[in-house]
């Protein structure tokens, strides 16, 4: 019963059920993993969960949010995949191939910040040798995680347009000072 929404009083936030009918396509293309959860310190009814989302094929930065303290959840689509290209001769780089390794945090004003890793896979999976990667921050202002700004702001970027494969920026974690002062 991997696809049920509840187990006792627990509510499943993400899913791990198959969304493909052909067994030879089954694998990463159906699941979510590496979940990160944060509660709004100003409004504990607002919760956001982020994760690696493989439901549409390759990984992306997935977000699910709740406005009722986790009783119900809704998915949103983050605007990732396009970056300004700061580290890439200031040329817009559309369609990074994959993303994931998310983290989420709230500030003292009730804004949520999503950290998303994005990267190109290189010649192992496409004719494009590019293996560039980066960490990008998206902000949700006033929507409790239902929507995020576009485009994301770069935190760190690695230019590997030539596909040298020297390294991948990987598994960032983020925190925000959310201590409410009186």
Q: pLDDT 10s per residue in the chain (182 long)? A: 456 666 677 776 655 555 556 666 655 556 788 889 999 999 999 999 999 988 777 888 999 999 999 988 999 988 887 887 777 766 666 678 899 999 999 999 999 999 999 999 999 888 989 899 999 999 999 999 999 998 888 899 898 988 998 888 988 888 888 776 66
Task: List the beta strands (DSSP E) in the chain.
Answer: 6-7, 10-11, 32-39, 47-53, 60-66, 74-77, 98-106, 112-119, 133-140, 153-158
Cβ burial, residue 29 (10 Å; 0-12/13-18/19+): middle
Query: What is the pLDDT at residue 140?
Result: 96
Q: Report how far residue 52's alpha carbon sits from residue 70's, in angstroms, rounded to the nearest whole number.
A: 20
Answer yes or no: are the C-beta atoms of 81 and 94 closer than 8 Å: yes
Q: Which residues of 155-168 are buried (b: 16+ CB within 10 A; e: fewer)?
A: eebebbbebeeeeb
Distance (Å, rounded) from C-alpha 153 to C-alpha 145? 17
pLDDT of residue 89: 67
98-132 burial, b if ≥16 CB within 10 A, otherwise e? bbbbbbbbbbeebbbbbbbbbbbbbeeeeeeebbb
Q: Are 50 and 114 a contacting pair, CB within 8 Å?
A: yes
Q: How far apart are the first and last CA of the chain?
A: 47
pLDDT at position 1 is: 47
Contact 114, 78 (CB under 8 A): yes
Which residue's entry shows tokens 């944060």? 38
> Where would I find the H helices in the chain?
none
């Amino acid at each position: 019963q991997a696809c049920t929404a509840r187990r006792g009083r627990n509510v499943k936030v993400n899913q791990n059920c198959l969304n493909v009918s052909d067994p030879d396509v089954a694998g990463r293309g159906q699941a979510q993993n590496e979940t990160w959860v944060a509660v709004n310190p100003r409004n504990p009814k607002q919760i956001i969960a982020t994760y690696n989302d493989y439901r549409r094929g390759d990984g992306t930065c997935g977000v699910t949010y709740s406005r009722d303290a986790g009783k119900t959840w809704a998915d949103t689509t983050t605007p990732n995949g396009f970056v300004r290209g700061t580290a890439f001769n200031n040329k817009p780089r559309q369609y990074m191939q994959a993303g994931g390794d998310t983290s989420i945090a709230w500030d003292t004003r009730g804004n949520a910040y999503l950290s998303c890793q994005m990267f190109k896979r290189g010649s192992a999976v496409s004719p494009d040798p590019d293996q560039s990667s980066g960490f990008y921050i998206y902000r949700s202002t006033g929507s409790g995680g239902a929507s995020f700004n576009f485009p994301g702001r770069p935190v760190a970027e690695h230019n590997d347009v030539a596909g040298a494969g020297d390294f991948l920026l990987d598994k960032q974690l983020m925190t925000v000072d959310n201590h409410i002062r009186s």
